[in-house]
Amino acid sequence: MYIGIIGYSFAAFLFLLFSVLLLTTWRGRIEGTYLLVASVVSGCWALSAVALEVKYSVTTMAIYQILEIAKNVAWFAFLYKLLKSLKEAGGNDSGLLIYAPGTVLVVSAGLIVLELVSLFYPGVWGMGGIASLQLAGHLGFAVAGLTLIEQLFRNTRPESRWAVKYLYFGIGLLFSYDFFLYADGLLYKEIDRDFWLARGFITAFAVPMAAIAAARNPSWSVRVFVSRRVIFHATVLFATAAYLLVMSAVGYYIKFYGGTWGKAAQVIFFFTALAVLIALLFSVHLRSRLRVFVSKHFFNYKYDYRDEWLRFINTLSDGELDERLRERVIKAIADIVDSGGGNLWLKDDASLYRTVSQWQSSTTKEALTENSSIIEFMRERDWIIDLFEYARSPGLYENLDVPEAIVSLQDAWLVLPINFHSNLLGFIVLNRPRSPRMINWEDRDLLKTAAQQAGSYLTLMQTTRALLEANQFEAFNRLSAFVVHDLKNLIAQLELVVKNAEKHKHNPEFMDDAVKTVGNATHKMSKLLAQLRSGRFEIGNSKEFYIEEAVAQAVNELYHYKPKPNLKIKSNYMQIVADKDRFTAIMVHLIKNSQEAAQSDDGRIDVCVEEIDGHAVIEIEDNGVGMDDDFIENRLFRPFETTKGNAGMGIGVYETREYIKSLNGSMSVNSQLHKGTTFTIKVPLGLDKADLEENIETGSEAVL
């Protein structure tokens, strides 16, 4: 009883679900109307069978019988409509088109009358007389249904049978089982209980087949989508279940007929069968063949494009845009056709095509020129070259000469060009697939589309690499600019020595100062060259020093220039941890700028150093040309912006601010045109040496 309820409930659920799908996508086409009616009536019939199993009565039996007649008539109408459409489309003429409707109506009416009579004869379902006539009528329905399907198959063109063959299988299964059920019942004068209970499951099997046929026929107005993944896993599940059932049956036989070894033999057989099943489930070759089978026999298109594209993009995106992207490109494209591996060839700076990556494949070091036959062929035609097809029929590929560098690759199968904006970046050589297969137009279109997407990724990788190299050169150039700026200041000091040498060369004190100046300049230039080689400013010389000493040293270096700077030290012993030479250099730069801005007869430079609230405050004030607010806000602290024309580089103030920031300090400027400028620097005192060195390092990297 329960198996009957489960079977017919399952059938009712599938038919009603199929009806909902048909109804939500129905566009008023007549074939869709017939199919929808047949599906709804079949679902109602299955529900009546469930009701009959739950509570048997004359009424439920009569309702069941009437709905069964209605179900058969609905399917006849749908099949008859299809047969009529085939005839109108030029199929073979058939007498069924004339006699079938009337015959079905007469038999249906007769059976309905018999059902109404049976209401007054409880138990007539299992007796002779009227029951025999009912069985004969249902058997006639089954024969009529099989005849309609045979005529449909005969009148369907061979090239069109692919779209409707599962409909014929599914509905043919219903009528075939009805024929078996009612023929047995007519022979023994009653319906076999076990056969009737199994009928629900047999009916349910017809629904997926009808759904596949409906999906393949847009004129039936249904868009049923069943992904390949679901079909694949369902097929694996059913195959596994069938395998386990067979193995269980064999194990049962061994247990009862194996003698004294029966139980042991059963255990050995069971675990052997389980090991074989696991090996089969993890077989790449078997999965590949199963995918081909599912795609070939269940779907209009070979590929589930949504899943293929998501898998392809996920494979390409699974990592950084580095050298490993090339291997991911090979794998992503190879997986489309179940290829076992491949090689990626790309064009280098010398316009040669070389192997740059491989995945599970042999490789070669030979290179191909742009004038190679295969390169020109792919550039002109953008064809996928099937090397097996080329070996069989080279005439299909006119003027193509596949080089030995590719032919010699083990298991080479397909040569796939990779383009980006009509530019041949390279190509992929795929190995033969894990299971034998032929590629058609659909394979080629998907492979070419994937290759175009791969080309964009490879181009992005090359562009990213070029941008990284450009950034490295830019950083080097910026560092060079800072070094040149410091060299300019050193050159100014040496020029001053040369300028005064003729006049004071006999003065021993001058000569001592000159030697010290040259030695100091040599030391600083050596240090700058070391920084240029390392690509960053050295911070290893950070140590404790007094700020007022560094400022006094800067003033002393520029004291020979006019206007002479005036130094006021209001506080002493202001100690910080930093690179004293670098700090002194930025003080020299700011004072030098003030001297250049105040070069006049009444020019004035005042440098003041004092401690305020735990900070060393340095003010450099001049009465020079000054700057307007727009220049201060938008240009002063931008690299390579200057008011000195060709005499300046425009990076000194920027470098100064960045270095002061690395000391956790700040720099501000107050200026008015034709009145002068005041630079104010604040640096916190008493910083921890380790923290300060970390700040200086971070600041240097930010600048460079």
- Domain boundaries defined on the chain: 2-224, 233-298, 323-468, 539-703
pLDDT tens track for 639-662: 655 555 444 445 678 778 888 998
Q: Which of 443, 565, 557 is nearest to 497 (CA)?
A: 557
Helices marked H in 28-129 — which ranges? 30-54, 58-88, 96-118
Please name every residue paired with 667 in a beta bridge, in sequence order, or none if there are none.
681
Parallel, antiparallel or unpaired: strands 412-420 and 385-386: antiparallel
**What separation in angstroms does the CA of 674 have from each of 563, 565, 608, 668?**
16, 19, 22, 19
Q: What secondary structure letter does DSSP report for 573?
A: -
Q: Residue 589: its pLDDT value, please?
A: 84
> Residue 261 to residues 270, 271, 276: CA-CA distances in angstroms?
14, 16, 22
Is residue 668 within 8 A of residue 633, CB to CB? The reply is no
Spatial contact of 121 and 155, defined as CB atoms under 8 Å apart: no
Whether the pLDDT of residue 366 is over 50: the answer is yes
The Cβ of residue 189 has, within 10 Å, a number of other Cβ atoms equal to 13
With residue 368 as reference, give the H or E element that holds it: strand 368-369
Q: How confident is the model at residue 666 (pLDDT cuts 50, 70, 90)?
A: very high
Please determine, for residue 570, whether its predicted confidence score (pLDDT) is greater than 70.
yes
Q: State the Cα–Cα distance between residues 659 and 475, nearest whole angstrom.
A: 17
Structure tokens at 214: 């409906």
Is pLDDT above 60 for 697?
Answer: no
Question: For the chain, give me the number of helices (H) and strands (E)?
Answer: 22, 13
pLDDT at 550 over 90: yes
Nearest-CA neighbor of 418 among 343, 311, 315, 320? 343
For residue 275, count CB atoms less than 10 angstroms from its CB and return exposed for 0-12, middle for 13-18, buried for 19 or more: exposed
- 535 touches 475 (CB < 8 A): yes
Helices (H), 337-440: 373-381, 387-392, 404-407
pLDDT tens digits along 213-238: 877 776 665 444 455 565 556 666 66
pLDDT tens-digit profile of 15-63?
Answer: 888 887 777 655 545 667 788 888 899 999 998 888 888 877 777 877 8
Stated pTM of the model: 0.41
Q: Which CATH number fits domain 323-468: 3.30.2320.50, 2.40.170.20, 3.30.450.40, 3.40.50.300?
A: 3.30.450.40
pLDDT exceeds cutoff 80 at 98: no
Mean pLDDT (whole number) for 448-455 = 91
Report the top-level CATH class of 539-703. Answer: alpha beta
Q: Report the distance separating Cα 430 and Cα 343, nearest Å.
A: 7
Q: What is the pLDDT of residue 472?
A: 63
Diameter of the chain by CA atoms? 149
pLDDT-derived band at 547 (thresholds 50, 70, 90) equals: very high
Residue with the larger pLDDT of the pair 369 and 476? 369
Residue 368's beta-bridge partner residues? 353
Are 261 and 267 in contact by the 8 Å Cβ rule? The answer is: no
The closest alpha carbon to 447, from 509, 528, 386, belongs to 386
Domain 2-224, architecture per CATH: Up-down Bundle (1.20)
Confidence of residue 258 (pLDDT cuts 50, 70, 90): low
Structure tokens at 680: 């104010």
- Under the banding of pLDDT at 50, 70 and 90, the label for residue 378 is very high
CA neighbor of 412 nearest in space, from 399, 424, 403, 425: 403
Separation CA 343–CA 350 (nearest Å): 20
pLDDT band at residue 574 using 50, 70 and 90 as cut-offs: very high
Whether 329 and 313 have beta carbons less than 8 Å apart is answered as no
Strand bridging mode 342-347 / 352-359: antiparallel
Instruction: State how far the Cα of 229 lies from the Cα of 304, in Å rounded to an integer.
Output: 8
166 token code pair? 């599962």
Place of tokens 């140590």: 543
Percent residues over pLDDT 90 in the chain: 17
